Amino acid sequence: MKRISSSLRKNWEQKLESLGFGYHSLEGLYWDESHYYEFSPDEIHRIEKATAELWQMCLEAVDYSIENNLWDRFSIPEYFRDYIVTSWEEDHPSVYGRFDFGFDGENLKLLEFNADTPTSLYEASVIQWYWLQEMFPDKDQFNSIHEKLVDYWTYLRKYMDPNHIYFASLTNMEDVTNIEYIRDCATQAGFDTEFIPVQDIGWAEEIEEFISGDQSVMEYIFKLYPYEWILEDGFAEKLVKNGFRSQWIEPAWKILLSSKAILPILWEMYPGHPYLLEAYFEPKHLKDFAKKPVYSREGANVALHRNNIPIEANKGDYGKEGFIYQQLFDLPDFNGNHPVIGSWVIGQEPAGIGIRESIHLITNNESRFVPHLISG
């Protein structure tokens, strides 16, 4: 993996905005095409292989967590457990997820799995692809995200009747852009689709149904809103009452994989596995470690320790569900920039990568998105 300087395209801001990518510079530079990352075909093959293998390991970990009643590890309340189990046993469909990897050229390690509400999808799928076509049209990119999304929605059409899906998110620009992109892929696959702000989803208590603004019963709802927030705001009790007459995508079992608690469970199941970092629910013998909340977003409340001394920490409102402790991975240092690879799984398959880069060791909402290509 190499980090290479690149010239900015003329009118690059307008080009991004013409694609509907309006948050390229909202809180400082987010989309950064002053550099790109170059991978060899062998490196891409390694990332693809690791993504496929970890996805299967994660599915095993869901089974293991349910069979061994590890609910307390995830802070899942009792009333919601059977709901998760049913969504798993009935194989409610999962569309996507993003593994975050540290890669130093030799070691490829899982940092965490954004399994429930991953973002940076649109820039990974569409924006960096247009950048490649303009700047390096003779090169390739590990990116079949768009094709696989359309294909997977097409596959799901066989099992979803009626074919109307609501797509729900908060109304900030990033969330709306990402969910409108996923919605567009579902529309291309033949679904009848409709956007609805999360806060506009209604609940008809007398019939225990979720309803839209025109009082229609909502049978399929794709949400870009995490399950831990659904538990927090009391909405999960309504999901249980409703009993799956409304089917939510991503399914409830994905909360187990989106929690950092899955990391020590994976290590318990696969000790010494080459793609995993040591992880526990207590610090144990670790001296160089990342302390991560069981639930958190954008690196909030994550603290890094070296020789048991804090070296970097982020503030936030997470942590009441507890923490896990993961062996510290030394991210590569490119002149003070530290990349993390986000590797997408769509349906059941690896589909492409996006790179987030930061001057900090903890990836947060200020980390930049940098495009990539394959050379050789």
156-199: pLDDT as tens digits: 999 998 889 999 999 999 999 999 999 999 999 999 999 999 99
* Both structure tokens of 73: 């590890």
pTM of the predicted model as reported, rounded to 2 decimal places: 0.96
Mean pLDDT of the chain: 95
pLDDT, tens digit, 9 for 90 and up, residues 291-314: 999 998 777 889 999 999 999 888
Tens of pLDDT along 235-261?
999 999 999 999 999 999 999 999 999
Q: How many CB atoms lie within 10 A of CB 254?
A: 27
Q: Which residue has the tokens 């919605």?
A: 183
Q: Is the peptide bond before 162 cis (omega within 30 degrees of 0)?
A: yes
Q: What percentage of the chain exceeds 90 in pLDDT?
A: 90
Residue 266's alpha-carbon distances to 64, 151, 273, in angstroms, are 9, 30, 9
The predicted structure's pLDDT at residue 103: 97
Q: What is the pLDDT of residues 83-122, one digit of tens each?
A: 999 999 999 999 999 999 999 999 999 999 999 999 999 9
